[in-house]
Structure 1
């Protein structure tokens, strides 16, 4: 018998090496923000007059809307009674083309008529809201495609997160309001010079519990630890947090300060013409009054591939506005006081218009 040699044995098939799974990129470590040890956890007082007396600056944020207007009137009245009006600063965050026309000028007029000695305007540098949405979309797209590649998937099929702000992602407020206002805080603290302690800023915000479930959960007074640091302690005060719509309009009528005409046109809120948190009727109203801005939003929708508001595109808002224009004709401005009358009655509105005209020389 012939002995088999090594060369006569069948070749051993080496199994192919398994494909290596893509190694996921290590996430960048999140920067941990530390709060200075001097920043308290809770305010030492929640009594309005004590907070005003204790503050180095009382900063009232004014959007030009009815809530911030009523808050302005209320806070200024208390500061005057305490002889502390010199501490009061009204600040308006200018949103550029996306806010109602004349809002900045109205906020300044309201502050001047109320007797506030100082009015400041802040504005985010660089891109406006629509441009920021497009920039954000580009970044989200790159991120989604890279993550798809790491999973071994076709990046063309990657699902891109929505670029528009939403109730769950209100990055717009941080970018174009909170950030610029904090730069004002830095300037105000510098003006105080050396105090030997952190400066005390009382920031007044016109948020109300009646606006949403989220706002109902906010504290009326709290330390703003995000805005505070070793040089300043910022206390957030929501003076009208518990107020109803009726109370807000009564304060406006009492103050005789002019309010934005968008309310008489039917708006419930005022700031951006098209706010993702606004009710549908407000959005349609905006499309009727500012059609060129609505068209700009619609173009951005196409670029980023998602609706401006979940379940409601700007294209649909424009369509509804067009239907109303065709059936009702061009919208005419209702008489001043139309919105106010719904809440406090026509007699109170008549007095408001007469006093406003007599005291401020404004056409009623």
Structure 2
């Protein structure tokens, strides 16, 4: 048993961290990116029983009936394939309307949250109505800031749906839960300040919830090494030259990534361009997306048939479990390309 320190207001608490065997549930926040995948593989190498692990994924564009807008179309299918290959269940969570719904919010509460809950051998979708809070108007993109109050895409589309699902799922009552996320200090100066272990905000008298960032001190090389060791196919975005698997239309995308998006998915790029004009607000404080893309180049994109193949996969909604393992594993073109294209 280890001791961890966590800050609550002005008070420093010392909390007993259990051995991995003593948690009833270990919940891995699975974005589909390399770091969350490395977390899962690390748990398995530590000998954690797959029966204790659950994967959760927040659908940033909302539910099945909502419009594709910010995310890679293939991401949910890729996460399902990971789930199926390892025999570990995955549960999806989302806010109605996703990020686009929040951008277009006008004199209203934020939209309701939905989450999948296990029911015997199946799942059901649970709706959590938003009844509290103040009505507000956004009509703005999230700010390119570390502060989640202004860079609200992460808090609204990911953190809050996860929190509400965890707090309202009766399956977790009375359980000891460990939440796993894949932040790494190498990624940014802000993440360098994160604690490796801490008391999760969902901890309560009804359930014990700890948070662990097992790869926080890993260098990128170690992340790719464990994925290579397991011969897992990385998310298609890496094969197309993206360095981090965040939203396809991530607000932190570099000029190169906007140019690359315009090249492989012009209709998706135009959606964002049109929205900037509609709401009279740009993602970047100084440049429109069209201006920013013009400053970029396509040097990171693969060429020829490889480009055609991975574009088709990335922009589709099918990813086979048979494609998860790659015997002739190769480092993706997006590896070691720096932190552009992801959150701070």
TM-score > 0.5, shorter chain as reference: yes
Query: How much does 1:257 deviate?
Result: 1.6
Q: Which residue of 2 aligns with 1:283?
A: 258
Query: How much does 1:202 deviate?
Result: 0.8
5+ unaligned residues in a row in structure 2: which ranges?
1-7, 62-67, 109-137, 311-324, 331-344
Distance 1:287 1:332, change over 3 A: farther
Query: How much does 1:271 deviate?
Result: 2.3
Query: How much does 1:283 deviate?
Result: 3.0
Residue of 69, 77, 80 corresponding to 1:108: 80
Q: Which residue of 2 aligns with 1:128?
A: 98
Q: Which residue of 2 aligns with 1:119?
A: 90
Q: Which residue of 1 aligns with 2:187?
A: 211
1:57 aligns with 2:25: yes
| Contact 1:201/1:232 (8 A) holds in 2 | yes
Which entry has the higher C-alpha Rg, 1 or 2?
1
Length, aligned pairs only: 266
Distance 1:356 1:268, change over 3 A: closer
Query: How much does 1:91 deviate?
Result: 0.7
Distance 1:212 1:324, change over 3 A: closer
Q: Distance in 2 between matches of 1:85 and 1:353?
A: 22
Deviation string, structure 1 residues 182-205 (Cα, Å, up to 9, x no partner): 2332455x2256x4xxx3221100
5+ unaligned residues in a row in structure 1: which ranges?
1-34, 140-159, 338-351, 358-364
Deviation string, structure 1 residues 72-114 (Cα, Å, up to 9, x no partner): 1112332xx24x3211000111123221121111112123223
Q: Distance in 2 between matches of 1:274 and 1:237?
A: 28
CA RMSD of aligned residues (A): 3.3
Q: Which residue of 2 aligns with 1:92?
A: 57
Q: Distance in 2 between matches of 1:111 and 1:86?
A: 12
| Contact 1:273/1:283 (8 A) holds in 2 | no
Q: Which has the higher helix share?
A: 1
Deviation string, structure 1 residues 197-232 (Cα, Å, up to 9, x no partner): xx322110010101110001000111123x233322
Q: Distance in 1 between matches of 2:186 and 2:285?
A: 23
| Contact 2:99/2:153 (8 A) holds in 1 | yes
Query: How much does 1:278 deviate?
Result: 3.2
1:165 aligns with 2:143: yes
Give the secondary structure class of the aligned counterpart of 2:237: coil
Distance 1:277 1:329, change over 3 A: closer
**What TM-score results when the alignment is normalised by the length of structure 1?**
0.64
- Equivalent positions of 1:145-224 (< 5 A) are 163-167=141-145, 168=147, 169-186=150-167, 188=169, 190-191=170-171, 195=174, 199-224=175-200
| Contact 1:210/1:216 (8 A) holds in 2 | yes
- Equivalent positions of 1:11-90 (< 5 A) are 41-45=13-17, 50-78=18-46, 81-82=47-48, 84-90=49-55
Deviation string, structure 1 residues 275-318 (Cα, Å, up to 9, x no partner): 12333323332232222121111122113322212334212244
| Contact 1:56/1:201 (8 A) holds in 2 | yes
Distance 1:181 1:289, change over 3 A: same
1:333 aligns with 2:301: no
Query: How much does 1:354 deviate?
Result: 2.2
Give the secondary structure class of the aligned counterpart of 1:298: helix
| Contact 1:61/1:92 (8 A) holds in 2 | yes
| Contact 2:231/2:327 (8 A) holds in 1 | no
Q: Which residue of 1 aligns with 2:127?
A: none
Q: Which has the higher strand share?
A: 2
Query: How much does 1:161 deviate?
Result: 9.8
| Contact 1:262/1:270 (8 A) holds in 2 | yes
Query: How much does 1:268 deviate?
Result: 0.8
Q: Distance in 1 between matches of 2:38 and 2:252?
A: 21
Question: Which stretches of structure 1, 4 residues or more, deviate above 4 A after TM superposition?
Answer: 160-163, 328-332, 334-337
Q: Which residue of 1 aligns with 2:116?
A: none
Q: Distance in 1 between matches of 2:246 and 2:239?
A: 15
Give the secondary structure class of the aligned counterpart of 2:203: coil
